Amino acid sequence: MKSFEFLSKKREEKPRTCGITMVLDKGLGLETANSLMDVSGEYVDYLKFGWGTSIVHEREIIKAKVEMYKSYDITPYTGGTLFELAYMNNKLEDFFKEAHDLGFPAIEVSDGSVNIAHENKLEAINKACENGFEVLSEVGKKDPLLDKELSLDERITCMKDELSAGSSLIIVEAREGGKNIGIFDKAGNAKEGEIDYILNNFNGDKLLWEAPNKDQQVFFILKLGNTVNLGNISSDDITSLETIRRGLRGDTVGKI
């Protein structure tokens, strides 16, 4: 039972089909992460082992963290850069096998740092699905200059094709910083016109917006409602985001 339950506004419970929260783990200790999930794990749907971080950690620790997150009904998955490194090194088969052995039920497929032809990315999504993984795929480049070369229409085409290829969710890139990338300008403000255009042409329930900063989270929730899917949430901000979604923090009190 929750405390102050008479003040609670309900939200869809797990497994959620919308209002999804994806959290970034950039190297938490196992016990610290466990302590955090004990208080707020029910508000985490997906947990990303950021970029290539898993490569520098012991197998036993990664396995233990994956199991721990799963025990809270969270889907842990490998960061997109890890896929890209495997692709670049012609090690996709080894990558699928190792991700499976470590217990990951899902992986991210992206081309943010490595050039991958559109058909090859779609094929990789397809292969990952065949290997039994849920696939989240990301659209956008990590380099702001390269990212700007991608037109909105090109992004939307990618989204549609990747969804058809088997992705369960399409991630809109914003990195850990959330500035000067994708739909965010240099100050981290969202470009509302671009978001509207995307949503006029693609099913918003299949999008997961990376929104690492609080103002961005508030923006999306006030604009699109608390059923919006948000990602790259810092592990420090899990509870904060849940309260913003429910109108329990100043920014959204009386507005949800």
Query: Using N-to-C axis directions, what is the helix angle for 92-102 and 80-88, rounded to 10°?
Result: 140
- CA–CA gap between residue 256 and residue 243 (Å, rounded): 11
> Which residues between 47 and 66 bind a second copy (CB under 8 A)?
50-59, 61-63
- Exactly one of 18, 30, 92, 222 binds a second copy (CB under 8 A); that residue is 30
Three-state SS at 222: helix
Residue closer to a second copy, measured from CB, 94 or 192 = 94
Does residue 66 contact residue 76 with C-beta atoms inside 8 Å? yes
- Contacts of residue 132, defined as CB under 8 A and 6 or more positions apart, other chains included, come to 100
Residues 210-249 that bind a second copy (CB under 8 A): 214, 236-240, 242-243, 246, 248-249
Give the residue, chosen from 8, 71, 120, 203, that forms a contact with a second copy under the rule CB under 8 A: 8
Judged by CB under 8 A, which of 67, 91, 148, 192 binds a second copy? 91
- CB 58 to a second copy: min, Å: 6
By CB under 8 A, residue 13 contacts a second copy: no
Phi first, then psi, for residue 167 (nearest 5°) are -65, 140
C-beta of 175: minimal distance to a second copy in Å? 7
Give the whole-angstrom CA distance, residue 159 versus residue 205.
12
Residues in region 114-133 near a second copy by CB under 8 A: 114
CB distance 160 to 202 below 8 Å: yes
Question: Of 12, 26, 153, 193, which one interacts with a second copy (CB under 8 A)?
Answer: 26
Minimum CB–partner distance for residue 156 and a second copy (Å)? 23
**Contact flag: residue 111 with a second copy (CB under 8 A):** no
- Closest by alpha carbon to 121, among 88, 146, 153, 148? 88
| Nearer to a second copy (CB atom), residue 163 or residue 181 | 181
Identify residues 155-194 at the interface with a second copy (CB under 8 A). Answer: 175-177
Q: How far apart are CA 243 and CA 10, in angstroms?
A: 11
Q: Figure out which of the listed residues 22, 44, 68, 102 binds a second copy, where binding follows CB under 8 A.
A: 102
Q: Which is nearer to a second copy, 21 or 167 (CB)?
A: 21
C-alpha Rg value of the chain to the nearest Å:
18
Q: Which of 209, 197, 227 is nearest to 170 (CA)?
A: 209
Is 144 one of the binding residues for a second copy (CB under 8 A)?
no
Nearest C-alpha neighbor of 172 from the set 163, 183, 161: 183
Using the contact rule CB under 8 A, the part of the chain among 25-33, 128-136, 151-159, 218-226 near a second copy is 25-33
